[in-house]
Amino acid sequence: MPVNNQNSDKQWVIGGIFIVLVLIFLIRLFYIQVWDNAYQLTAESNSQRHVTQYPARGLILDRNGKVLVQNQAAYDLMVVPKQVQEFDTLEFCKMLSITNKELKEKLKKAKLYSWYKPSIFLKQVSFEDYATFQEHLFRFPGFFVQTRTLRDYPMPTATHLLGYVGEVSEKQIENNSYYNLGDYIGISGIEKTYEQELRGTKGNKIFLVDVHNRIKGEFRDGDFDIMAIPGYNITTTIDAELQLFGEQLMEYKIGSIVAIEPSTGEILALISAPSYNPAMLVGRARSLNYSHLQNDSLKPLFNRALTAQYPPGSIFKIINGLIGLQGQFINWHTHFTCDKSLVGCHNHPTNDNIEKAIQFSCNPYFFQTYKKIIQQGKDNNRFIDSRYGLTYWRNYVLEFGLGKKLKSDLPNISSGSIPDTTFYDKWYGKERWAFSNIASNSIGQGEVMVVPIQMANLVAIIANKGYYITPHVVKKVGEKTNANPEFLTIHPTSIDTKWFETVQNAMYAVVNEAHGTAGRARIDSIAVCGKTGTVQNPHGEDHSVFIAFAPKDNPQIAIAVYVENSGFGGTWAAPIASLMIEKYINGEISEYNTKYKQQRILDYKPLYVEPSK
């Protein structure tokens, strides 16, 4: 082949390769510039900062519009590790009041999360530190500040009821795509139950930043921003003044107060003592304070009103009396001798009828009543007969909202315990127990366990003459009335109304007539109906219990008070309930009661420790 032809062929091959390469380059360039915008987005992301816009969490108000929980501004220092450059660590740490060790640990944590995504470097920077740091922020590439809100409490009250907000866990993030690392969520109380309504919806704002990470303006005039939507305000059923008053009465004591409006099931006050200032669980000191509260031997984090389970004591005699009347095991005229050989009792006048038995709180009377309910003579075998009687009795008791969790809008309510045949079979063996083994249930000292909110609901049933509406704590969400069907539904018992009238008369006598056990609960201007309870405590002094409603006609408040280790029900629980009733109905305490009854309660400080000098 001639040399010229060979050279010509080589030129064509080389030219063809060059043309192909140029075509590939042009096609790729066209694809990048016209078809694929990935490079454009990457370039833009290097000059943009996406900042989450956290919505204002909804306020929480009392029933009269007083603010219980509001918001305050807070600042989180964010970091993008890939953008961090060398900087003066000494000055950085000094401005933020952190150590060099903390700086290294926080940067390491951020890198483990992501080199490219922003994460929280330092939470809840104070306004003072933020004001100083903001002027020097441009000197620290990779860092920027994100504004959010923290909870603030203008009235430091109702801590257990309101609950608190904390940082989301990894599990919560996995289960709900709304939350990201560093977000906050309701942990307990109303904050937890109504989290979705309170939290609002997050937004997103895009800023243009320069090479020094300084904001230069909005990206494309904010056309791609998403506005945050604030959470709904929550109006509770709580009366803030009544709540505060109850907390003052329970200072230096262990126990609880629950007050309910009988006609609606609205909770007027819910107090657990001892308590703590809700502001302790806000801000950078939260972890330290939480640890301190958790290790406190008095358990201030424990919500006794909703989760503590106690024997009900003598207040349970009312239920046994109602079941006995309904089943015709006794009638209004039934008389039982106060036989102390059956069960111990205090000295009192003769029980001529069921009303007097309640008024005097006669133990043997209700021992005999319970025995008739359990041993009905349905079977000649007393063990089998007792099984039938216990089931009969238990079915009635459950109608009073006991032995099960009330479907309230407050979380973590305990169910208490109303024993059944299975319970006693495990304890004693099948068909090896009878009335004699369970007789203590007759006076509320056996295996029956109740929760304070159930006690308040019980007296609401008595006030309503046979029904209840589930106790709840939220009245409105935003401007709309809480439409939860559970809070509009009447839950009736099977007991005839006439027997509740009998019990109401007896409870009136407990407070207002001679030899009643709750004379300290009497209010001259209000017809108070109540029942005392003194619960045996094997670990110390007995617990003082009192339930009441008022006024007798058209009741406005039903209340349960439980004061641990304080003796007779009429000694401390009854006057506390009386003061709460007077405060709610009259709006104030009479001068006489302020001077004597109220001062006596305030001066009773079993937990008070004299400060060291």
Residue type, 283: G
Cis check: omega of the bond before 411, within 30 degrees of 0:
no
User: 136 is written with which tokens?
Assistant: 């020097």
Q: Which pLDDT score is estimated for 133? A: 86
Query: What is the CATH number that goes with domain 48-236?
Result: 3.90.1310.10
Beta strands, E only, 379-520:
467-468, 474-477, 480-481, 491-492
- Residue 276 burial class via C-beta count within 10 angstroms: exposed 0-12, middle 13-18, buried 19 and up: middle
Residue type, 569: G
Spatial separation of the C-alpha atoms in residues 547 and 568, rounded to whole Å: 13
CB 452 within 8 A of CB 304: yes
| Below-70 pLDDT ranges, the chain | 1-16, 25-26, 28-46, 210-215, 610-613
Q: Which pLDDT score is estimated for 410? A: 94
Spatial separation of the C-alpha atoms in residues 60 and 69, rounded to whole Å: 5
Q: Which pLDDT score is estimated for 39? A: 47
Q: Which pLDDT score is estimated for 42? A: 46
Strand partners, 467: 492
Residue 1 CB contacts under 8 Å (≥ 6 apart), including other chains = none
CB 232 within 8 A of CB 478: yes
Residue 366 CB contacts under 8 Å (≥ 6 apart), including other chains = 317, 320, 321, 357, 442, 443
Residue 571 three-state SS: coil
CATH superfamily for 240-603 is DD-peptidase/beta-lactamase superfamily (3.40.710.10)
Spatial separation of the C-alpha atoms in residues 217 and 223, rounded to whole Å: 13
310 DSSP assignment: B
- How many residues can be counted in the chain? 613
Spatial separation of the C-alpha atoms in residues 110 and 108, rounded to whole Å: 5
Q: Which pLDDT score is estimated for 276? A: 93
Residue 602 CB contacts under 8 Å (≥ 6 apart), including other chains = 248, 249, 251
Per domain, the residue ranges of the chain are 48-236, 240-603
Q: Which pLDDT score is estimated for 527? A: 97
- Count of beta carbons in the 10 Å neighbourhood of residue 400: 24
Residue 107 CB contacts under 8 Å (≥ 6 apart), including other chains = 79, 81, 84, 121
Q: Which pLDDT score is estimated for 603? A: 94
Residue 105: in which H helix or E strand, if any?
helix 100-113
- Count of beta carbons in the 10 Å neighbourhood of residue 16: 10
Residue 359's closest CA among 505, 523, 497, 575?
505
Spatial separation of the C-alpha atoms in residues 244 and 269, rounded to whole Å: 9
- Residue 538 burial class via C-beta count within 10 angstroms: exposed 0-12, middle 13-18, buried 19 and up: exposed
Check if 48-236 and 240-603 are the same fold: no
Q: Which pLDDT score is estimated for 215? A: 65
Q: What global pTM score does this model have?
A: 0.86
